[in-house]
Structure 1
Amino acid sequence: MMDNVSQIRIFFLSGLNETNNHRFTLLFLTLLCYCIILLVNISVIVTIILDKNLHEPMYIFLCTFCMNALYGTTGFYPKLLWDLLSPVHVISYPGCLVQAQVGGSFVCSELTILSVMAYDRYVAICRPLEYHSVMSKQILIMLVCYSWLTPFCIIGITIFLTSRLKLCSPYIDKFFCVNWMIVKLACFPAETAINSIVVYITVIIYFFHGFFIILSYMYLIKTCVSSIENRAKFMQTCVPHLMSLFIFLVTILFELMIMWFDSKDFPQTFKNFVSIEFLIIPPLLNPLIYGFKLSKIRNRIMVVLTLKN
């Protein structure tokens, strides 16, 4: 049993200790941000589900993208809102592992879905005559399942290994749980070797996902240069993907830099902002980018807003 491996029952989250004087302002801003994230993502999801004209692979993947945003933010914002109302910031041992699982699989799923979207755009623009046979209903279901289940299982393995470590401190220098921060609390660093190996393998796997996305878009750009029609398709459907990829990579890069270097020179407020970027900016901006850029979604939302048939 998990409790037999570690005597720690709860973790103390110290990331919010310096924000007590502004916690009601932060509570309002956090609640507002979470409500907007829910609104924009649910709007895109419902629009795609209800409009049969949008039951195409590109829009199904977008729907998956927005669902993943809801999954990741729901594993974070309710706990943050509760902590902003509480004088003591704690989380149970199992709850911390669950939050680390949700956060890790959310991040990996983002990159997996972006790679699947890149493949979809490659087939649509470079092999248009084969598109409906290549992107069949069965393949679509397989790609959606791959986008969700593979990251969940990979991160699940790392969380399982973490749960078997004996921990010597209940203090996490963050305001939410991240797997690597839990591993750093291990009593015997030698026992974390297998954890490190799995993390490196995961990084390599998702490095190849990123490499695949870059290669796909390089080929797409090369293909679209010579065709006005393909250039229009690229600007309409690929530019939002590239913007989402850029936003995702920048926010994750900042988070990794703070987590790996853990510089004491940075104020806690700055580290908190950098840590939360990937849970604010991509879930908030991605639906807006696609909503404004993809004409079918934009037009459908405008119809709903203006109450026209």
Structure 2
Amino acid sequence: MNSTQVSYFTLAAYFDTGLLKYLFFIIAMFLYAMILCANVLLIVIICMNRSLHEPMYLFLCSLFVNELYGSTGLFPSLMVQILSDIHTVPASFCYFQIFCVHSYGTVELFLLTAMAYDRYAAICYPLQYNTCMSSARLPIMNSVAWVYGFSTCFIMVCLSSSLQLCGNMINKVYCDNYSVVKLSCSDTQILNILGLISCFLHILCPLILILFSYMKILKVCFSGSKQTRQKAVSTCTPHLVSLMNFSFGGFFEIYQSRFDMSSVPSMLRIFLSLYFLTCQPLLNPVLYGFNMSKIRNIYKSLLFAKM
């Protein structure tokens, strides 16, 4: 069987849950609605208030847009599959979902890296902050995150879709690139090498830059005033929690794709494989909405005005 003959993929991680499938559908629909409402609300608040047109909040706006993009690449398909008795997807849609999921992850990590640099510049070089994060540099940093994430994932999907496949069974609830590569009959050595290079560029490099930024921030905090430490804690805590949450979900997803997890209960495997696509889009609006005083105050004023 080659790639031209694979017209559909079967998502084998789904199993018969009887009437419980309606409960799972309601839960998925509720989560998706919460993600849409929370992220759209914060995007509107940031865009409509000129006082929030600062680098930190504009990065947040871009992050919330990415949460909407990533969750939309998963939830509509997930809800359809939950109610369906035949868990198959067309090959074209499967590759499209692979592109959405992987580009979401890449853009997310690059935006978190840009936000770490923004905090580094604000805390370590406050007098030069406007130069470091100028109005000309900010859109470039945002654009690089999106263009790089989309272009590299597009190349990856093109390479994967050209493989000769010996099967069409994916043991997940959504399409994943490595699961498709494992179905290949042809030599995947080049793809494996490219995958290692991609992991270095997409994961290790951003994490190294984030680690460097926080080492410098900690150095300034220990040698600085109490006010500097309070500023660092208030602005860096949401970013650190968001980064650790995304890293946990991403790490488990990579580990699960490459190692045998048959000893782990299937429901737990499904939950953890969906973690970075569900908990991250839900957590970020809560983290930044409640911890950023400007956003919180504007939200309160809007709420009380309506009441």
Q: Which residue number corresponds to residue 247 of structure 2?
A: 249
Which 4+ residue blocks in structure 1 deviate beyond 6 angstroms? none
Match of 1:187 among 167, 177, 185: 185
Q: Which residue number corresponds to residue 221 of structure 2?
A: 224
Aligned pair 1:76/2:74, yes or no? Answer: yes
Structure 2 counterpart of 1:242, which letter?
A: L
C-alpha distance in 1 between matches for 2:263 and 2:227: 52
CA distances 1:87-141 after superposition (whole Å, capped 9, x unpaired) = 1111111110010011001111111001000111111111111111221111011
Q: Which residue number corresponds to residue 198 of structure 2?
A: 202
Q: Which residue number corresponds to residue 209 of structure 2?
A: 212
Report matched runs for 1:48-197 at 5 Å. Answer: 48-188=46-186, 190=187, 192-197=188-193
Is the CA contact (8 Å cut-off) linking 1:18 and 1:268 kept in structure 2? Answer: no
Q: Which runs of 5+ in 1 are unaligned?
A: none
TM-score (norm: length of structure 1) = 0.95
C-alpha distance in 1 between matches for 2:90 and 2:65: 26
Q: Cα offset for 1:241?
A: 0.5
CA RMSD of aligned residues (A): 1.6
Structure 1 counterpart of 2:21, which letter?
A: R
| Secondary structure, aligned partner of 1:302 | helix
Is the CA contact (8 Å cut-off) linking 1:72 and 1:102 kept in structure 2? Answer: yes
Q: Cα offset for 1:307?
A: 1.4
C-alpha distance in 2 between matches for 1:272 and 1:308: 40
TM-score (norm: length of structure 2) = 0.96
Q: Cα offset for 1:5?
A: 4.4
CA distances 1:11-37 after superposition (whole Å, capped 9, x unpaired) = 111111243452111001100111111
C-alpha distance in 2 between matches for 1:155 and 1:106: 10
Q: Which residue number corresponds to residue 44 of structure 1?
A: 42
Is the CA contact (8 Å cut-off) linking 2:39 and 2:64 kept in structure 1? Answer: yes
Match of 1:275 among 269, 273, 277: 273
Larger CA deviation: 290-299 vs 13-22: 13-22
Q: Cα offset for 1:260?
A: 1.3
| Secondary structure, aligned partner of 1:11 | strand
Structure 2 counterpart of 1:275, which letter?
A: S
Q: Cα offset for 1:6?
A: 2.4
Give the 3 Å change call, closer, same or farther, for CA 20–108 of structure 1 in structure 2: farther
| Secondary structure, aligned partner of 2:10 | strand
C-alpha distance in 2 between matches for 1:79 and 1:240: 30
| Secondary structure, aligned partner of 2:255 | helix
Structure 2 counterpart of 1:218, which letter?
A: M
| Secondary structure, aligned partner of 2:197 | helix
Is the CA contact (8 Å cut-off) linking 2:2 and 2:163 kept in structure 1? Answer: no
Structure 2 counterpart of 1:208, which letter?
A: C
Is the CA contact (8 Å cut-off) linking 1:125 and 1:220 kept in structure 2? Answer: yes
Give the 3 Å change call, closer, same or farther, for CA 308–82 of structure 1 in structure 2: closer
C-alpha distance in 2 between matches for 1:168 and 1:18: 26
Larger CA deviation: 154-163 vs 54-63: 154-163
Indicate the percent of aligned positions where both proteins have the same amino acid.
37
| Secondary structure, aligned partner of 1:194 | helix
| Secondary structure, aligned partner of 2:305 | coil
| Secondary structure, aligned partner of 2:109 | helix
Q: Cα offset for 1:169?
A: 0.7
